[in-house]
Amino acid sequence: MSIAAPSNPKEITLRGIILGILITLVFTAAQVYLGLKVGLTFATSIPAAVISMALLSAFKDATIQENNIVQTIASAAGTLASVIFVLPGLLMIGWWAHVPFWPTFGACAIGGVLGVMYTVPLRRALVSQSNLPYPEGVAAAEVLKVGMASRAGAAEGKAGLRAVIWGALTSALFAAGAAAKLMAAEVSIYFRTGAGATAGATGIGASSSLALIGAGHLMGITVGVAMGVGTIIAWGVLVPLMTSLTPAAAGVDAAGHALGVWSKEVRMIGAGVIGIAAIITLAGLAKPILGGLKSAMETARKAKLEGAVMDRTEMDMPIYIVGLVTLIALVPAGWLLASFLQGGPLMSLAVPLVAVGVGYILIAGIFAAAVCGYMAGLIGSSNSPVSGIAILTILGAALSVGFVGRSVMGPEVAQALIAFALFVTTVVLAVAVIGNDNLQDLKTGQLVNATPWKQQVGLLIGVAAGSCVVPPVLELLNHANGFVGAPNLDAISNEPLAAPQALLISTLAKGVIGGNLDWKLLGYGVLIGLALVLINFVLKKSSNDKYSLPPLGVGLAIYLPSAVITPVVIGAVAGWVFDRAVEKRAGGESAKRIGVLVMSGFIVGESLFNVALAGLIVLSGKGEPLAIANSMSEGTTMTIALVVGTAIVWSLYRWSAKNGRAVHQQ
């Protein structure tokens, strides 16, 4: 394979497009499940790059730029799946009983196309002329360079493919053990924090999930520590305090008491923390974003006036095509919104609602794409505050459509307005996350001498492929499991998926339009969030930006269940320990990269197994088709899960270190 940068290297090829689409289909399915289960997604660029290099190594004429296009196409999977942070809300409020293909496809595809278009003018300002670190974009570029530059690099590429496969197989088998009831799906302990009428309750839980361990490793120690702090605030302070103020009903045990108060009260405080942290973060970005837009327009103007011949590596999609595609995309966007209202109680308001919806997608989409793109450069696309963007977007959408529909308000109208606000928010979120991904990919492309406009075309291909996968996988999981808070009339299993982000977004929409949002609890969260912002500022200032405590990470840990957060924190700490242990050894950097790929495999394997399990549930009509009857106690199954999970993680970390040394010796 060639790593050279000829004047016209092989980039967009039929084999690369096919491979990129296949990887996108697999990773999108995995991401949809992971997001619905835990409210988190992961970046797919690095595992996609490794898989691409390993498979295209069979072709002597494959180039680093061709492999970059493959990872660009596949990276859409890691971002477009984020629309499931909103879409299940339409099922939760009872607007949809099933997930329709075309409206869902349309929302994903239109939002994705606009996300690419909106960020094309930002490339020069935020990528090529910027000092933003783009941690994930740089990491993906390093993987591509190392994997193609030498014999050792080729060996690492093959070891990396094995790492993804081993991680996927072990996590799938581990998940199968839980599905078979041979070990506990969750390890937890809950207890009373006092005695008498004012006794509180609290506890901690950890899902038996290697995917969450992998997600923690990929997020890193900074986010892991922030989530650990959020867990302490939620379960060490707020839950004991608020359960002591709300006595348990007769017959309710410690677990029921603690989880009940957390779900009704504490997680709304977490939503307040997320909201204020997002607003303050976004406010701080206004100046650099406006400066970036100005710089991009100035560069385009100079190039046109001076007639300069641009280098291949500086050629974006022509700005007139960007503008034309944007305008054309607004037409199907309007048709999609009008179709959504067809035959419903808002037909009389269809014209103003569609106008408001299209205008909101246009304006809020530009803002969200720019902000998310900047945040991708600052902290990486996996850590970008998509939750905060979604919260702000639904609040704005709910207020806008609520204002239009205030004259005909009633129970059916309120539900229809909530549904419309959720649908508009889905499109805006697709714009935001693809804009986020586009700039991250363009940074990778800059470092490997790729052609920007070809990457932008590649991402559009990924958007189309991912948009085809989201609706059927979402409907499969809806039919098999259903979602917490939804009627789930046709769900087979009695274990609905949490879909935590969608639950929050739909709750906020109902509260704003129905006028019954618990602003008091949100206000408490805002106060905690302001304190965390101040602490983060002081910490960064006193350590010269060496240490930080991201308030969004803390807020997510207060809002999400401890069963989700605990393994993520464990994974972050374990990853940090592993990296420190191998970094000064021979092959340490290779071992780190292989470890990242093992953890990516954990996520893919478990998620795909559970998607397949959902298919088996639908086919068999049984809620637990793999369950094996046994007489083991709950404590025994928890112990088995702990021992087996620890053994797998420890063994594969050792395997990663060993392969890192072997690669170094090549």
Q: Is residue 315 part of a domain?
A: no
pLDDT tens column, 416-452: 999 999 999 999 999 988 888 888 888 888 888 889 9
pLDDT tens column, 176-192: 999 999 998 888 899 88
Q: Is residue 238 part of a domain?
A: yes
Spatial distance between the Cα atoms of 454 and 461, rounded to a whole number of angstroms: 11
Q: Is residue 320 part of a domain?
A: no
Q: Is residue 317 part of a domain?
A: no
**What is the amino acid identity at position 186?**
E
| pTM as predicted | 0.82
Q: Is residue 322 part of a domain?
A: no
Q: Which domain holds residue 218?
A: 9-309+327-665
**Please, which residues have CB within 8 angstroms of residue 24's CB and are 6 or more apart in sequence?**
73, 74, 76, 77, 462, 465, 466, 469
Q: Is residue 379 part of a domain?
A: yes
Q: Is residue 607 part of a domain?
A: yes
Q: Is residue 1 part of a domain?
A: no
Tell me the three state secondary structure of residue 191. strand
**Cβ atoms of residues 27 and 48 within 8 Å:** yes
Compute CA distances 84 → 32, 154, 387, 423, 610, whole Å.
7, 37, 12, 11, 16
In this structure, what token pair is assigned to residue 473?
Answer: 């996988």
**What is the amino acid identity at position 555?**
G
pLDDT tens column, 334-385: 999 999 999 888 888 889 999 999 999 999 988 888 777 777 776 666 656 6
Compute CA distances 236 → 193, 230, 259, 262, 435, whole Å.
10, 9, 13, 12, 38
**What is the amino acid identity at position 410?**
G
Total structural domains in the chain?
1
pLDDT tens column, 247-298: 877 778 888 899 889 988 898 898 888 888 877 876 776 666 666 566 656 6
**What is the amino acid identity at position 191?**
F
| Measured distance between the N- and C-terminal CA atoms of the chain, rounded to whole angstroms | 18
pLDDT for 306: 62
Q: If residue 203 lies in a helix (H) or strand (E), which one and from where to where?
A: strand 201-207
Q: If residue 186 lies in a helix (H) or strand (E), which one and from where to where?
A: strand 186-192
Spatial distance between the Cα atoms of 261 and 269, rounded to a whole number of angstroms: 12
